[in-house]
């Protein structure tokens, strides 16, 4: 569950769960979005080209802000769709609109306890509920549910209760149909984009995240897989208190990655945490084929060791966990290996295999794409660029401007029209990978992961590393 530091300061929402309330609110959104577009289009008739482009950018921001404000009040699947549009939209929406929609990831007011208490009583039953003392103030609030702290009376065990908002699952299909029309009316998606296909993928993702039985299994599985690795803590699950829409786990004390306690850690301790963050992703991706795809910092907290230097990651919220098919993973491994080895042919073949590129693309597109791929691999080179490296060749994640350079390289190459909107596997995988990079930057880690990536690419999978390996020159590309 994503953490919301503002939740204790913001006025709780009265949840609109009735079909009439929700439909009325969404109908209003559609009317206002359509009227706004009509006004904007009429105004553009009297502007020159440069003014139209500037006004278009402003219009997209206004429409996205309107959508974000309205969805944030409705909660449920409509808000989640807005969040997912900020993930998918990076491939086809204006950057200004994406920035606005991303605010939905972090800015979710809680729902009033009075709306949730009857639901919890019904779902747990009077006997089970009587065993617990529940704090009415939420620890965290998100689009699909919120978390409350509790104490088991019999032994004082501290628990977390994740509560799905009432009637949420029943409204998913109708919400997505209505919101699809609203997004079209708001003109946030350009012509030629298969919005229905995108929304169908979002729909499947939302159904996965509201399946608390599955999340309980995934939490337990991650706990078992990491049980013998003292760098990570996974909450214990309590099936006796859990239902399809209520998930109860142990409460695990930890600090936010951006907290003063974490910032105050010595460099070696932050480096160790950075290595643990990277290796967790490599374990999930290369070894397990099971990846927790939500990179929100609220899901990756840090338990600071006050008595020593044994800091740990506390891993939360496994609702967005995805399983990846071996065939997809094999092609993706080739893509990564191609970049790691500076082997353009292998990189391009892998990118085609995972539907990032079209085989009929011009050679210049392949060349430009390879340059971008080999730029992304920069933190995993044996000797990173001097301006981002320590004397012993550790990569300075906090000082790197890699994201900006990659974005600039893609824009300069002008190859976007040859990209397909990637399949959902890639969208959510890259979402998590980008989150790892941001986490390393926030930790201000100094860490060279060359040997770690080589281990998972080759030793772990019995692959033979070419003689040239990563020692080849970038000039050979």
136: which residues sit within 8 A by CB, 6+ positions away?
A: 113, 117, 148
Mean pLDDT of the residues in the chain: 80
Tokens coding 132: 């617990």
- Supply the pLDDT for residue 301: 96
**What's the predicted TM-score (pTM) here?**
0.79
Nearest to 250 by CA among 263, 265, 267, 233: 233
- Supply the pLDDT for residue 356: 81
Q: What is the C-alpha to C-alpha distance for residues 333 and 428, in angstroms, rounded to an integer?
A: 16
Q: What is the C-alpha to C-alpha distance for residues 310 and 276, in angstroms, rounded to an integer?
A: 12
- Supply the pLDDT for residue 414: 52
Q: What is the C-alpha to C-alpha distance for residues 246 and 153, in angstroms, rounded to an integer?
A: 19
Task: Using CA atoms of 248, 136, 208, 299 in order, give the dihedral in degrees to the nearest 10.
Answer: -80
Largest CA distance in the chain: 73
Low-confidence ranges of the chain (pLDDT < 70): 1-78, 89-97, 99-108, 185-188, 190-192, 410-423, 460-477
- Supply the pLDDT for residue 412: 66
Give a three-class secondary structure readout of the chain. Answer: CCCCCCCCCCCCECCCCCHHHHHHHHHHHHHHHHHHHHHHHHHHCCCCHHHHHHHHHHHHHHHHHHHHHHHHHHCHHHHHHHHHHHHHHHHCCCHHHHHHHHHHHCCCCCECHHHHHHHHHHHHCHHHHCCEEEEEEEEEECCCEEEEEEEECCCCCEEEEEEECCCHHHHHHHHHHHHHHHHHHHCCCCCCCCHHHHHHHHHHHHHHHCCHHHHHHHHHHHHHHCCCCCCEECCCECHHHCCCCEEEEECCCCECCCCHHHHCCCHHHHHHHHHHHHHHHHHHHHHHCEEECCCCHHHEEEECCCCCCCCEEEECCCCCEEECCHHHHHHHHHHHHHHHCCCHHHHHHHHHHCCCECCCCCHHHHHHHHHHHHHHCHHHCCCCCHHHECCCCCEECCCCCHHHHHHHHHHHHCCHHHECCCCHHHHHHHHHHHHHHHHHHHCCCECCCHHHHHHHHCHHHCCCCCCCHHHCCHHHC
348: which residues sit within 8 A by CB, 6+ positions away?
A: 338, 357, 366, 369, 370
- Supply the pLDDT for residue 76: 62
- Supply the pLDDT for residue 427: 76
pLDDT tens column, 78-126: 677 777 777 776 666 666 667 666 666 555 678 889 888 998 999 999 9
Q: What is the C-alpha to C-alpha distance for residues 11 and 320, in angstroms, rounded to an integer?
A: 28
Q: What is the C-alpha to C-alpha distance for residues 39 and 363, in angstroms, rounded to an integer?
A: 43
Q: Are 97 and 61 in contact (CB under 8 A)?
A: yes
Nearest to 219 by CA among 205, 204, 239, 200: 239
Q: Are 207 and 222 in contact (CB under 8 A)?
A: no
- Supply the pLDDT for residue 474: 42
pLDDT tens column, 132-147: 999 999 998 877 889 9
- Supply the pLDDT for residue 49: 52
Nearest to 162 by CA among 128, 139, 191: 139
Domain boundaries defined on the chain: 19-108+168-209, 217-323, 326-476
- Supply the pLDDT for residue 296: 83
The CB density around residue 57, as the number of other CB atoms within 10 Å, is 14
Q: What is the C-alpha to C-alpha distance for residues 341 and 28, in angstroms, rounded to an integer?
A: 54
Q: What is the C-alpha to C-alpha distance for residues 107 and 102, in angstroms, rounded to an integer?
A: 9
Q: How many CA atoms lie within 13 A of 49 on its CB side?
A: 0
Q: What is the C-alpha to C-alpha distance for residues 97 and 63, in angstroms, rounded to an integer?
A: 8
pLDDT tens column, 196-239: 877 887 888 888 888 999 999 999 999 999 999 999 999 999 99
Residue reference for tokens 């951006």: 258
- Supply the pLDDT for residue 43: 47
Q: Which long-range contacts (CB under 8 A, 24 or more apart) does 51-59 make?
A: 56/94, 57/94, 57/96
196: which residues sit within 8 A by CB, 6+ positions away?
A: 180
């Amino acid at each position: 569950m994503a953490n919301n530091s503002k939740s204790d300061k913001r006025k709780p929402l009265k949840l609109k769960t009735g079909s009439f309330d929700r439909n009325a609110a969404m109908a209003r959104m559609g009317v206002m979005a359509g009227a706004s577009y009509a006004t904007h289009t009429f105004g553009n008739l009297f502007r020159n080209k440069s003014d139209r482009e500037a006004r278009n950018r402003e219009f997209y921001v206004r429409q996205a802000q309107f959508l974000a404000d309205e969805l944030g009040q409705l909660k449920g699947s409509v808000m989640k769709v807005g969040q997912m549009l900020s993930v998918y939209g990076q491939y086809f929406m204006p950057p200004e609109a994406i920035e606005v929609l991303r605010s939905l990831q972090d800015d979710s007011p809680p729902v009033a306890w009075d709306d949730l208490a009857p639901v919890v009583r019904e779902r747990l039953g009077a006997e089970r509920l009587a065993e617990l003392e529940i704090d009415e103030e939420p620890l965290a609030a998100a689009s699909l549910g919120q978390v409350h702290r509790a104490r088991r009376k019999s032994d004082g065990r501290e628990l977390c209760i994740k509560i799905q908002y009432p009637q949420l699952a029943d409204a998913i299909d109708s919400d997505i149909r209505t919101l699809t029309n609203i997004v079209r009316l708001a003109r946030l998606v350009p012509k030629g984009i298969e919005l229905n296909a995108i929304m169908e993928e979002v729909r499947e993702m939302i159904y996965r995240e509201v399946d608390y039985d599955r999340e309980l299994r995934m939490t337990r599985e991650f706990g078992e897989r990491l049980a013998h690795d003292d760098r990570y803590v996974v909450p214990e699950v309590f099936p006796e208190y859990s239902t399809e829409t209520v998930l109860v786990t142990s409460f695990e004390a930890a600090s936010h990655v951006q907290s003063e306690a974490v910032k105050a850690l010595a460099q070696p301790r932050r480096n160790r945490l950075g290595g643990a963050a990277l290796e967790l992703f490599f374990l999930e991706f290369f070894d397990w084929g099971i990846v927790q795809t939500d990179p929100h910092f609220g899901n990756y907290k840090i338990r600071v060791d006050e008595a020593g230097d044994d800091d740990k990651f506390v891993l939360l919220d496994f609702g967005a966990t995805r399983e990846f098919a071996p065939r997809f993973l094999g092609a993706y491994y080739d893509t990564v290996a191609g970049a790691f080895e500076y082997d353009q042919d292998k990189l391009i073949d892998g990118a085609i295999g995972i539907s990032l590129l079209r085989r009929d693309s011009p050679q210049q597109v392949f060349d430009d794409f390879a340059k971008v791929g080999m730029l992304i691999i920069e933190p995993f080179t044996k000797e990173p660029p001097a301006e981002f490296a320590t004397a012993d060749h550790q990569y300075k994640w906090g000082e790197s401007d890699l994201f900006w350079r990659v974005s600039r390289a893609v824009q300069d190459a002008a190859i976007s029209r040859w990209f397909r909107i990637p399949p959902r596997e890639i969208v959510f995988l890259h979402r998590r990978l980008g989150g790892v990079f941001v986490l390393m930057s926030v930790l201000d880690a100094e860490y060279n992961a060359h040997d770690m990536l080589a281990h998972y690419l080759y030793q772990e999978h019995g692959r033979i590393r070419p003689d040239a390996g990563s020692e080849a020159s970038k000039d050979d590309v």
